[in-house]
């Protein structure tokens, strides 16, 4: 197939002084930071849904995207052609991974059997292109939210048949992810939630979701899929309340239903914002439970209250993300997956390159800055010092479980008042971070 982007060559690294909009200023794949290359640290991934299926429509307006390779039909030929274009894009960008929903890559047929056949036909091309380019699958997933059959949810639907359809669809999606050597598989609860409690048996729906995930774990074992399973929190959209509302809610659900050892979290920045948290909060909550798996890198807009899925460009944000990720030991099976879309007004194909180059550079800078902050050591030392009362004596006794209310009362009655508190030095620390940005 002829090149779709003939005027764009492989995006080079040209360094911070470059003025070339089609070059990386910070992402230098082979550069070693803190013992690993940037490529290994960041494991960048392009999403198929926004980048190759997004058409720029919104609730007020028609599609705007100019995608000359796509005839917008549901034909298999169109789907296969799109795969070739996508891989030319991944290759030119130098992205080591991509991610997809089953229905992004292949059209839905009249029956489940026909749909599976369509998927197999396109997976064959995906496999060829992965082999040709060396680009790998970061994770696969199933689209369980577009079709009207999922109006009441998928695994949490009030309709048992819909649960069965969901199981069949996810079975197939796990199998093709395995076939394509996927490093993981994501469960995002597209419509697993409710719009009103008046018609909802919340407990029953949660039980069903857990039963469904246990079946997925079982099937994963059965087919020998070694990839990591992830659950992706989001508090709302499309439903009013999504059950997987934030990292803490997901962890509680996974613990309650004995699933914690089988799933980690895939955290998305804009979902954190919608939940009223910072992305760093979500990362720290996941890391504390040993469940930090992967990230969907994007950002919202402070002036808009919905999931705008913009490309990340804020260095302060990427620095915070990379600090938490490095502190947690780095990404292993996961990656920095751009679950982000170009604005409706950025409708030319070249905008896809600008968007990804910007996101990759923003994360590369965040990585370099976070590594420098860690190397400098003052931030970590401040935190260590702040908790020093727990390193010996009374604090150590409490932490090691060798204390009691009686013992602590005795101690305090004798001492009268706690040792004085020290300043939290928030502004001092904010200034410290800015020294590196």
Please spell the DSSP secondary structure of 400-413, one letter per residue. TT---HHHHHHHHH
Which is nearer to Co ion, 153 or 189 (by Cβ)?
Answer: 189
When CB distances are held under 5 to 8 angstroms depending on the partner's kind, the choice from ligand XUL, Co ion, none that residue 284 binds is: none
Q: Is 268 in the site for Co ion (CB under 5 A)?
A: yes
CB 153 within 8 A of CB 204: no
Which is nearer to ligand XUL, 94 or 190 (by Cβ)?
Answer: 190
Which is nearer to ligand XUL, 38 or 231 (by Cβ)?
Answer: 231
Beta strands in 212-270 (DSSP E): 228-232, 241-242, 263-268
Which is nearer to ligand XUL, 13 or 139 (by Cβ)?
Answer: 139
DSSP single-letter state for residue 49: I
Instruction: Give the footprint of ligand XUL on residues 318-377 (CB under 6 A).
Output: 339
CB 291 within 8 A of CB 265: yes
Q: Catalytic site residue 104? A: yes
When CB distances are held under 5 to 8 angstroms depending on the partner's kind, the choice from ligand XUL, Co ion, none that residue 44 binds is: none
Q: Is 268 in the site for ligand XUL (CB under 6 A)?
A: yes
When CB distances are held under 5 to 8 angstroms depending on the partner's kind, the choice from ligand XUL, Co ion, none that residue 186 binds is: ligand XUL
Q: Is 244 in the site for ligand XUL (CB under 6 A)?
A: no
Q: Is 102 in the site for ligand XUL (CB under 6 A)?
A: no
When CB distances are held under 5 to 8 angstroms depending on the partner's kind, the choice from ligand XUL, Co ion, none that residue 141 binds is: ligand XUL
Which is nearer to ligand XUL, 88 or 232 (by Cβ)?
Answer: 232
Distances, alpha carbon 287 to alpha carbons 21, 260, 284, 293, 354, in Å: 35, 13, 5, 9, 32
CB 300 within 8 A of CB 340: no
Contacting residue, 106, 186, 272, 279, with ligand XUL by CB under 6 A: 186
Q: Is 282 in the site for ligand XUL (CB under 6 A)?
A: no
Which distant-in-sequence residues (6+ apart) come within 8 Å of 383 by Cβ?
none
CB 340 within 8 A of CB 310: yes
CB 28 within 8 A of CB 38: yes
Distances, alpha carbon 265 to alpha carbons 23, 154, 250, 291, in Å: 32, 20, 8, 6
Q: How far apart are CA 186 and CA 351, in angstroms?
A: 27
Q: Catalytic site residue 101? A: yes
Which is nearer to ligand XUL, 13 or 188 (by Cβ)?
Answer: 188
When CB distances are held under 5 to 8 angstroms depending on the partner's kind, the choice from ligand XUL, Co ion, none that residue 246 binds is: none
Pattern 202-231, ligand XUL, x by CB under 6 A: ------------------------------
Q: Is 296 in the site for ligand XUL (CB under 6 A)?
A: yes
Please report how close the Cβ of residue 429 comes to ligand XUL at its closest, in angstroms. Answer: 32
Please report how close the Cβ of residue 339 comes to Co ion at its closest, in angstroms. Answer: 4
- Calculate the dihedral angle through the C-alpha atoms of 38, 39, 43, 49, rounding to the nearest 10 degrees: 110
Q: Is 246 in the site for Co ion (CB under 5 A)?
A: no
Q: Is 296 in the site for Co ion (CB under 5 A)?
A: yes
| Residues paired with residue 267 on neighbouring β-strands, in sequence order | 295
Q: Is 244 in the site for Co ion (CB under 5 A)?
A: no
Q: What is the C-alpha end-to-end distance of the chain, expressed in Å?
A: 44
SS3 of residue 241 by DSSP: strand
Which distant-in-sequence residues (6+ apart) come within 8 Å of 130 by Cβ?
87, 136, 137, 180, 181
Q: Name the catalytic one among 41, 50, 102, 104.
A: 104
For 185, list phi and psi in degrees, rounded to 5.
Answer: -145, 130
265: nearest Cα among 325, 194, 313, 181: 325
Handedness of CA 368, 99, 195, 161 (dihedral sign): negative
Q: Give the count of beta carbons closer than 10 Å to the beta carbon of residue 317.
A: 19
297: nearest Cα among 80, 27, 6, 113: 27
Q: Is 309 in the site for Co ion (CB under 5 A)?
A: no
Q: Is 188 in the site for ligand XUL (CB under 6 A)?
A: yes
Please report how close the Cβ of residue 387 comes to ligand XUL at its closest, in angstroms. Answer: 35
Pattern 117-156, ligand XUL, x by CB under 6 A: ------------------------x---------------
- Stretches 165-173, 217-225, 332-340, 354-362: which one binds Co ion (CB under 5 A)? 332-340
Q: Name the catalytic one among 26, 50, 101, 277.
A: 101
Catalog residues that contact Co ion under the rule CB under 5 A.
Answer: 268, 296, 339
Catalytic residues: 101, 104
Catalog residues that contact ligand XUL under the rule CB under 6 A.
Answer: 101, 141, 186, 188, 232, 234, 268, 296, 307, 339
């Amino acid at each position: 197939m002829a090149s779709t982007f003939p005027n764009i060559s492989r995006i080079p690294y040209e360094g911070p002084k470059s003025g070339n909009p089609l070059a990386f200023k910070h992402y230098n794949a082979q550069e070693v930071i803190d013992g690993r290359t940037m490529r290994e640290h960041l494991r960048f991934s392009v999403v198929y849904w926004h980048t190759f299926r997004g058409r720029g429509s919104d609730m007020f307006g028609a599609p705007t995207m100019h995608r000359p390779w796509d005839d917008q039909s549901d034909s298999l030929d169109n789907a296969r052609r799109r795969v070739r274009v996508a891989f030319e894009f991944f290759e030119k960008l130098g992205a080591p991974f991509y991610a997809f929903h089953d229905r992004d890559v292949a059209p839905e047929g009249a029956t489940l059997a026909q749909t599976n056949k369509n998927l197999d036909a396109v997976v064959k091309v995906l496999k060829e292109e992965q082999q040709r380019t060396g680009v790998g699958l970061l994770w696969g997933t199933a689209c369980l939210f577009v079709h009207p059959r999922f109006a009441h949810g998928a695994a949490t639907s009030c309709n048992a048949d819909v649960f069965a359809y969901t199981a069949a669809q996810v079975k197939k999606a796990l199998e093709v992810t395995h076939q394509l050597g996927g490093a993981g598989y994501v469960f995002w609860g597209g419509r697993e939630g409710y719009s009103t409690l008046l018609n909802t048996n919340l407990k029953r729906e949660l039980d069903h979701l857990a039963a469904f995930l246990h079946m997925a774990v079982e099937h994963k074992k059965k087919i020998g899929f070694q990839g990591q399973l992830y659950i992706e929190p989001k508090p709302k959209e499309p439903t009013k309340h999504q059950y997987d509302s934030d990292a803490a809610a997901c962890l509680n659900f996974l613990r309650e239903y004995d699933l914690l050892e089988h799933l980690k979290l895939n955290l998305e920045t804009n979902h954190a914002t919608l939940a009223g948290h910072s992305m760093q909060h979500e990362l720290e909550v996941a890391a504390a439970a040993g469940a930090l798996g992967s990230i969907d890198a994007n950002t919202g807009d402070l002036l808009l209250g919905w999931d705008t899925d913009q490309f990340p460009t804020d260095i302060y944000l990427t620095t915070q993300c990379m600090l938490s990720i490095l502190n947690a030991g780095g990404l292993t099976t996961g990656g920095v997956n751009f679950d982000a879309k170009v604005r409706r007004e950025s409708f030319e194909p070249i905008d896809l390159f600008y968007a990804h180059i910007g996101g990759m550079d923003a994360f590369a800078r965040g990585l370099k800055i976070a590594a420098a902050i860690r190397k400098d050591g003052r931030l970590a030392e401040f935190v260590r010092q702040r908790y020093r009362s727990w390193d010996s004596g009374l604090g150590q006794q409490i932490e090691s479980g060798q204390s009691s209310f009686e013992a602590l009362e005795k101690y305090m009655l004798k001492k009268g008042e706690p040792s004085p508190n020290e300043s939290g030095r928030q502004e001092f620390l904010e200034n410290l971070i800015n020294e590196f940005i």
